[in-house]
Structure 1
Amino acid sequence: MLRGRRVLGEDGIRPREVGVVDGRVTAVRPLGANLPGDRVVQLAEDETLISGLVDAHVHVNEPGRTDWEGFASATRAAAAGGVTTIVDMPLNSVPSTVNGPALEYKRLVARSQVFVDVGFWGGAVPGNRTDLRDLHDAGVFGFKCFLLHSGVGEFAPLTPDGLEDHLRELTRFGGMLIVHAEDARTIDRAPRPAGARYERFLASRPREAENLAVAEVVERTRRTGGRAHVLHLSSADALPAIRSAKHDGLDLTAETCPHYLTLQAEDVPDGATAYKCCPPIREADNRDQLWEGLLDGTIDYIASDHSPAPLELKDLPGGDFGIAWGGISSVQLGLPVVWTEARRRGIGLERVVEWMSARPATRTGMRRKGRLAEGYDADLAVFAPEETFVVEAARLHHRNPLTPYEGRTLSGVVHRTFVRGTEVDHENPRGRLISRGEA
């Protein structure tokens, strides 16, 4: 039994009691109902009980690149940030999750290590159309593709026609294609990134590359009647195309990331490769428009795109944006990062949790995740929204201690995390591997 003055349920934050039996929420009642419980957790006055977050975009990288990240470190970090479910990307592990044996191997490696519940995306690459149905039947939540080089040689991109072919195949059994949407030809024509100037790196990944690729995804979704999702949207210029597609009834959604909502290109120091990600962090006006896209529903949810790498791959001594690996480690910090900025903009915690829990759970087809409600898994976080802390990379749980949020003061501290009613102790991995249709 969990009791507190501030419990975020289906109708907002209210004084409530929450009963949990066998890992499920069995009762949500007004505080004072005195529901019986073998164990009672009493929230402090400054704590809010929220649904555990669902982070649908995490690169764990194990097996094959475990020095970048691994299931134990990634899921410890997730739990520390109030994330109770992650969905792992099909790259940068080796092998990539592009066929049944690769998925089984990844599950075998992960099974005994996870501190939160973990699902998996499959990959859509040239030559694996015949593997898609087997991966779908094995429980992946959908299929990721790139429209330009992925950064690793073993995960090749699709052409626009290849994207359409894979989408058409997925319509046969209701699979969803999730797309890294940047146009390869536009980026090939852009200035080359080199040196320490962030401005030059930003010019190498122009908004037009995203805008064209998103338009291509919309058109191919329209032709096939498929299900598609735009990953890590950074260009606000693409919002009208997504909005129009939704108005026309296409089964299309989009996500953005904490770094696009909180950081701005104007503040990125030259040589600060901790900020490098693809697509890039853009200007302040663009950031403001992304918030507008969230508020009006054009952008469906927020995901971390946790994409870590060893420190040497970030070229910290040289600070060369052309050399450094692109990726930001943020699975532990997503909630306080977004909450700090949302609060500054007058946006309530209810909306933040909706964007980071309920909506990703719904889009990925998780039927028992993402809500603090009867019948749902008791995935919960005890969150102190008024408490502040200063980010120290060395104190975070992900494997390589680097973050662009180093030294920032953030609002919101996760005090405790429960996965299916059991508190995460960061020593005993009790998470489960989950499949589409079963979670």
Structure 2
Amino acid sequence: MDVGTVGGLMSGLDLVLRGRVVLPDGERLAAVGVADGRIAVVAGQHDAPLAAREDRTLGPDEVLIPGLVDTHVHVNEPGRTEWEGFATATAAAAAGGVTTIVDMPLNSIPPTVSPEALDVKRAAAAGVAAVDVGFWGGAIPSNLGRLRALHDAGVFGFKCFLAPSGVDEFPHLDRAQLDAALDELADFDGLLIVHAEDPDALPHGYGGGRGYAGYLASRPDEAEVAAVEHVVEGVRRTGGGRTSCTCRARRCCPCCGPRRPRGCGSRPRPARTTSLDAASVPDGATRFKCAPPIRDSRNQDLLWEALDDGTIDLVVTDHSPSTVELKTAGGGDFGVAWGGIAGLQLGLAAVWTQAARRGVPLARVVGWMATATARFVGLDDRGAIAPGRRADLAVVAPDAELVVDPARLEHRNPVTAYDGARLRGVVRETWLAGAPVRPGERRGALLDRPVPAVLTAP
């Protein structure tokens, strides 16, 4: 970037944004200068002498935040593009202030479990993404022993299930296979996300029905606790690899607190854990079905406490859409309908609505959904408004409200658990690499896992 100072005036900038800004140390008035797609300067006064081709002052109700990084998104293309595809998913991301997503390896056909399948996935995303896209690989029984090749091909890490995933082409690992995966990943410090439900702790013979209480009883928190305890034991044994468990039960938190082994963490699926509770789920309302299930409000309170004390340190949506027909299959039978919630566009509003009620500042929410998520997958060039970072940004009106109309959301199918919800926090504009994301624009890049620099002696 060609940025200079003439007579005390910083010049050569493409853009200056002035107003309230969420910075790494909190929210305050500032001026942010952008050049060549990156943040060139952050001035501590919003009226600082910066010269740019475009100079804009935010409205008094608006705040500038870094673009969110959602590291848990099911896009489903190719193979199940009628559920969701890269064009619609990334348009929904941009509408929700998300500038980077990392796509899950399952629900697409083929699943991303080999370098060849990754090539197929990348080809499907090329040229159609509105925001940047990275990819997870999958760990399933048939590719154990060959995870390094997929790691070297550029995936950010691996996802596995300890209970059936819901799709036949992505089978789950048993305990011995999980241990084998942990051993393999320890050799190259690979990252593993574990869907933490132990099938041995899940009741047998659940026949479905319209009652949500019955579905909740079929996925008890004991199954989550047993799975997390086994993952923690495995990480202690191998002494390597980096592991994160998908948990919704508050009882998992002690397993992942300050005494957890190096690299072992836990995080919620927060568009669910932090804004919905079991009492809000009517019988027959299968749009709320997910696994692990939405639990009670006391469980949610304790998960918020875990966020507050740092036991849980990042927030993602686990956007997992399907067609309306699959989501409502069985006429309200929780045993038949697809289990997954579409929330990519609404993640920030859903979390911020609850955070604001609890007195949590917007800067902390941004830390969980942008800074921590970027750090989690090694994308240190984004996730914060600081000099040298990418100018991936969003303009948010935190006190503005919206009532969710599924038909007006950007994701492919008009069904969501947030139907009719009144949420707080409206994203008014999203910027990718210093330029606004316009409807229909497809400037998103396909990302490989960052490779740490190797320092050599001179």
Normalising by the residue count of structure 2, what TM-score does the alignment of the two structures yield? 0.93
For the pair 1:7 / 2:7, whether they are aligned, the reply is no
Question: Which of these residues, 36, 42, 47, is aligned with residue 28 of structure 1?
Answer: 42
Equivalenced residues, count = 436
* Corresponding residue of 2:456: none
- Checking the alignment, whether the CA contact within 8 Å between 1:217 and 1:228 is kept in structure 2 is no
CA distance in 2, matches of 1:32, 1:394: 41
Q: 1:253 aligns with which of 259, 265, 270?
A: 265
Given that residues 193 and 243 in structure 2 are in contact (C-alpha distance below 8 angstroms), is that contact kept between their aligned partners in structure 1? yes
Q: 1:315 Cα shift? A: 2.3
Contact 1:258 1:337 in 2 (8 A): yes
The equivalent residue for 1:105 is 120
Q: For the residues of structure 2 that align with 1:435 and 1:48, how far apart are their CA atoms?
A: 31
Amino acid in the other structure paired with 2:320: S
1:89 aligns with 2:75: no
Question: How many Å apart are 1:34 and its aligned residue?
Answer: 2.1
Q: For residue 80 of structure 1, report the CA deviation from its aligned partner.
A: 0.2
- Native 8 Å contact 1:232 1:303 kept in 2: no
1: CA distance between counterparts of 2:317 and 2:245? 11
In structure 2, C-alpha distance between the alignment counterparts of 1:192 and 1:228, rounded to whole Å: 34
Query: For residues 381 and 193 of structure 1, what CA distance do their matches in structure 2 show?
Result: 45
Question: Equivalent of 2:337, from 290, 309, 324?
Answer: 324
Match of 1:37 among 46, 52, 55: 52
* Mapped partners of 1:248, 1:97: distance in 2: 30
Distance verdict in 2 for CA 1:100–1:387, change over 3 Å:
same
Structure 1 residue runs of 5 or longer lacking an equivalent are: none
Unaligned runs of 5+ in 2: 1-14, 453-458
| Cα deviation code 1:352-371 (max 9, x no counterpart) | 00010111111111110211
- 2:323 alignment counterpart: 310
Partner of 1:133: 148
After superposition, residues 268-347 of structure 1 pair within 5 angstroms as 268-315=281-328, 318-347=331-360
Counterpart secondary structure, 1:301: coil
Give the structure 1 partner of residue 368 of structure 2: 355
Distance in structure 1 (CA, Å) of the matches to 2:393 and 2:357:
25
| Distance (whole Å) between structure 2 residues aligned to residue 41 and residue 325 of structure 1 | 45
State the structure with more CA Rg: 2
**RMSD of aligned alpha carbons:** 1.3
Deviations 1:9-32, CA, capped at 9 Å, x for gaps: 122112111111111111111212
Identity %: 52
SS at match of 1:40: strand
Shift of 1:317: 6.6
Q: Is the 8 A contact 1:16 1:31 kept in 2?
A: yes
Distance (whole Å) between structure 1 residues aligned to residue 358 and residue 416 of structure 2: 23
* 1:369-409 CA distance string (max 9 Å, x none): 21111111111000000111110000000001011111111
Give me the whole-angstrom Cα distance separating, in 1, the residues matched to 2:122 and 2:83: 18
How far is 1:423 from its partner? 0.8
Secondary structure of 2:52's aligned partner: coil
What is the DSSP-based 3-state SS (H/G/I as helix, E as strand, rest coil) of the residue aligned with 2:224? helix
Distance in 2 (CA, whole Å) between partners of 1:46 and 1:438 is 40
Equivalent residues of 1:193, 1:321 under 8 A apart:
no
- State yes or no: 1:242 paired with 2:278: no
Aligned match for 1:207, one of 194, 207, 221: 221
Corresponding residue of 2:398 = 385
Distance of 1:340 and 1:248 partners within structure 2: 31
The structure 2 residue matched to 1:265, chosen from 264, 274, 278, is: 278
In the superposition, the TM-score normalised over structure 1's length comes to 0.97
1:79 is matched with: 94
Residues 191 and 344 of structure 1: CA distance in aligned 2, closer, same or farther (over 3 Å): farther
